[in-house]
């Protein structure tokens, strides 16, 4: 119970932090990629990085914290920019990550036999990259399909493509950001290198 | 902290470390870093540091310490000054 609580808190704070960093970038829109503030899909969606990283390392324990952040992030930070029914579509976003991890296991890209309970060693970052790519593709398709069904509107293929690309770039940016923080902290000996 | 929770956090750090290693982003080895920190620590605590101090404190061989100091000097992250009390010794100071 204590572990679940700790993981939920960590995941929630980290995901909300990603939302908080991403939102100003989205509003400023320095590259003028979305001048009319339409439902186009961000080209660097940092919260997807939080989803993937947290799910890969904390596994199913991370889902409550992630879902809370999926609801609170848009509500507190950018409620106008999201389509109706996001609370349900967020489930599809989380499912895309879960499905991507299970797919990576199922394809035997990871060593050993397939099992839902088997843990992938994500210290090998290549598996993480694989999950990022697969989940980004799934997320673009699933979320936009759900939103289009719920709102009875059609969503452009370009939007789906932007979603996938945004999730991909966002996840890489989060990983890069974490690496810079980690590097700075270890170089200043504020945290001990895991191999020491 | 529970061991499971810390183990998962350490896994994230290890993953980042692996990226760093594979992309060859590490300029200094762990030995070199330890030697640098010994120089910094000695300077902060005693106000000065000579090569013999680094050899004694770090436990590395004389040649390793000399080679590393030479590298640091080339990278301009430390400066060497001849000791006024012992002409055979060199004081090591961190570059500003």
Q: Could you state, in order of their start, the residue ranges of all structural domains in chain B? A: 28-94
Under a CB-based contact definition with an 8 Å cutoff, are residues B80 and B91 in contact? yes
Q: Is the pLDDT of residue A187 over 60?
A: yes
Q: Which of B2, B9, B18 sits opposite A125 (nearest CB)?
A: B18
pLDDT per position as a tens digit, B9-53: 888 888 888 888 787 667 777 788 889 888 988 888 888 888 888
Do B2 and A3 lie within an 8 Å CB cutoff? yes
Residue at A192 is within a domain: no
- What residues form DSSP beta bridges with B50? B91
Residue at A195 is within a domain: no
Q: Closest by alpha carbon to A175, among A18, A12, A8? A: A18
Do A182 and B15 lie within an 8 Å CB cutoff? no
Provide ipTM, 2 decimals.
Answer: 0.76
Angle (nearest 5°) at CA A43 between B16 and A68: 70
Q: Is the pLDDT of residue A194 over 90?
A: no
The reported pLDDT for the residue numbered A120 is 80
Residue at A165 is within a domain: yes
What's the number of domains chain A is made of?
1
C-alpha R_g of chain B: 17
Phi first, then psi, for residue A81 (nearest 5°) are -80, -5
SS3 B91: strand
Q: Is the pLDDT of residue A77 over 70?
A: no
Domain with A39, as residue range(s), is 2-187
Q: What is the CATH number of domain B28-94?
A: 1.10.10.10
Residue at A196 is within a domain: no
Residue at A95 is within a domain: yes
Under a CB-based contact definition with an 8 Å cutoff, are residues A18 and A47 in contact? yes
Residue at A59 is within a domain: yes
Q: CA-nearest residue of chain A to B23?
A: A125
Q: Give me B88's structure tokens.
A: 């055979």
Residue length, chain A? 196
Do A2 and B2 lie within an 8 Å CB cutoff? yes
pLDDT per position as a tens digit, A33-60: 666 666 667 788 899 999 999 999 998 9
Q: Closest by alpha carbon to B69, among B12, B17, A60, B61? A: B61
The reported pLDDT for the residue numbered A66 is 94
Q: Which of B5, B10, B19 sits opposite A125 (nearest CB)?
A: B19
């Amino acid at each position: 119970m204590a572990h679940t609580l700790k993981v939920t808190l960590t995941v929630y704070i980290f995901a909300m932090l990603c939302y908080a960093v991403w939102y100003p970038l989205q509003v400023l829109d320095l590259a003028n990629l979305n001048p009319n503030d339409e439902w186009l899909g961000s080209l660097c969606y940092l919260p997807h990085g939080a989803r993937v990283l947290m799910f890969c390392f904390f596994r199913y324990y991370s889902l409550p914290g992630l879902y809370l952040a999926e609801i609170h992030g848009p509500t507190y930070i950018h409620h106008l920019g999201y389509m109706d029914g996001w609370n349900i579509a967020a489930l599809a976003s989380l499912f895309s990550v879960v499905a991507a991890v299970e797919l990576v296991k199922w394809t035997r890209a990871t060593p050993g036999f397939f099992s839902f309970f088997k843990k992938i060693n994500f210290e090998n970052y290549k598996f993480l990259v694989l999950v990022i790519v697969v989940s980004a593709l799934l997320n673009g398709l699933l979320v936009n399909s759900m939103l289009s069904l719920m709102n009875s509107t059609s969503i452009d293929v370009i939007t789906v493509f932007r979603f996938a690309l945004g999730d991909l770039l966002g996840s890489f940016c989060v990983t890069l950001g974490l690496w810079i923080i980690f590097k700075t902290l270890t170089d200043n000996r504020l945290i001990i290198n895991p191999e020491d | 902290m529970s061991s499971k929770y810390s183990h998962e956090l350490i896994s994230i750090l290890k993953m980042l470390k692996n990226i760093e290693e594979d992309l060859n982003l590490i300029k200094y080895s762990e030995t070199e870093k330890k030697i640098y920190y010994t120089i910094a620590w000695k300077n902060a605590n005693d106000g000065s540091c000579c090569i013999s101090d680094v050899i004694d404190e770090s436990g590395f061989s004389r040649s390793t310490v000399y080679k590393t100091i030479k590298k640091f000097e080339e990278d301009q992250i430390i400066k060497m000054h001849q000791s006024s009390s012992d002409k055979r010794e060199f004081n090591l100071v961190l570059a500003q």
